[in-house]
Amino acid sequence: MKILLSIVLIVMILGCKNNSLKVIADKKKVPKSDLILKKEKENNNIKVQTFPVDFRRIEPDSVKKDFRTDSLEVNEAVWINNTQLITGTIDGNNNGIHLIVKNKNNELIYMSKGQYDSWRYDLNLFKTENSNKIILINEIGAEESWGVEVHEYSNGIYKEIGVMDIVAMNEYEESLSVVPFVKIKELENQILEFSFNKDVKIYDNQKEKSISGEKVKYRFENEKLDRVE
């Protein structure tokens, strides 16, 4: 009888050990990616950002044009997320149109250099769906467009990205604003890419060059905006 009980106990111990080994083996078989996905399903706050991310043109919260305040002759003032962007000329300053940016506390956070001979400085705002980053494509020019300045506003910080010496063209090769034809994408590592869906004219070393917009891109990477073809 004692021998029989001993045999039963040995069988039970071996069975438990095998089941434990099986559980460990099953855990080893679960791919790491599956475990991550399971964790993401358990926690709805975890979101995975996929790239590229498209920017779309947006309208400001409000706009006011052609008025005077203090020593500033305002061409246009726009408000977006409690931030005010003003274009205009300053009394006693002969450098042309400036862009002035103030935060919600009316504190100056940016002022551009003057545009000198440019008659206009048109603000155009672009934003992604899930980010508070705003890209501004600010057009300069006189009777015709001269190109655009690119700026970024994010988390209370306003900065210049660079200049794109590029204009769109109509069928008579007359200069048009490139703004309606620009496409903006954010790639991985906070790289911004600008492309165009219309024939364009670019200025390189003071020489004009007409080219299909599909063959031209600008890329902002490592704090520098460069044209790539």
Give which of 15, 35, 221 is closest to 7, Cα–Cα. 15
Single-letter amino acid, residue 81: N
E strand or H helix at 100, and its extent? Answer: strand 98-102
Host domain of residue 187: 53-228
Single-letter amino acid, residue 206: Q
Q: How far apart are CA 80 and CA 60, in angstroms?
A: 5
Is 70 domain-assigned?
A: yes
Is 19 domain-assigned?
A: no
With 80 as the cut, is the pLDDT of residue 131 above it?
A: yes
Q: How far apart are the first and last CA of the chain?
A: 89
Is 98 domain-assigned?
A: yes
Is 139 domain-assigned?
A: yes
What average pLDDT is seen over the chain? Answer: 84
With 80 as the cut, is the pLDDT of residue 43 above it?
A: no
pLDDT digits (tens, 9 = 90+) for 172-211: 888 899 999 999 999 999 999 999 999 999 987 778 899 9
With 70 as the cut, is the pLDDT of residue 33 above it?
A: no
Are 214 and 80 in contact by the 8 Å Cβ rule? The answer is no
With 90 as the cut, is the pLDDT of residue 42 above it?
A: no
Q: How many residues does the chain have?
A: 229
User: What pLDDT is stored for residue 11 in this prediction?
Assistant: 44
User: What pLDDT is stored for residue 5 in this prediction?
Assistant: 45
Q: With pLDDT > 70 as the criterion, what percentage of the chain qualifies?
A: 79
Please state the pTM of the whole predicted model: 0.77
**Mean pLDDT, residues 40-69:** 82
pLDDT digits (tens, 9 = 90+) for 137-184: 999 998 889 999 999 999 999 999 999 999 999 888 888 999 999 999
Q: With pLDDT > 90 as the criterion, what percentage of the chain qualifies?
A: 62
pLDDT digits (tens, 9 = 90+) for 84-118: 999 999 999 989 999 999 999 999 999 999 988 89
More confident residue, 91 or 23: 91
Give which of 97, 155, 148, 96 is closest to 125, Cα–Cα. 148
Domain count within the chain:
1
Are 150 and 140 in contact by the 8 Å Cβ rule? The answer is no
Is 40 domain-assigned?
A: no
User: What pLDDT is stored for residue 72 in this prediction?
Assistant: 92
- DSSP code for 215: G
Is 200 domain-assigned?
A: yes
Residue 155: other Cβ atoms inside 10 A: 6
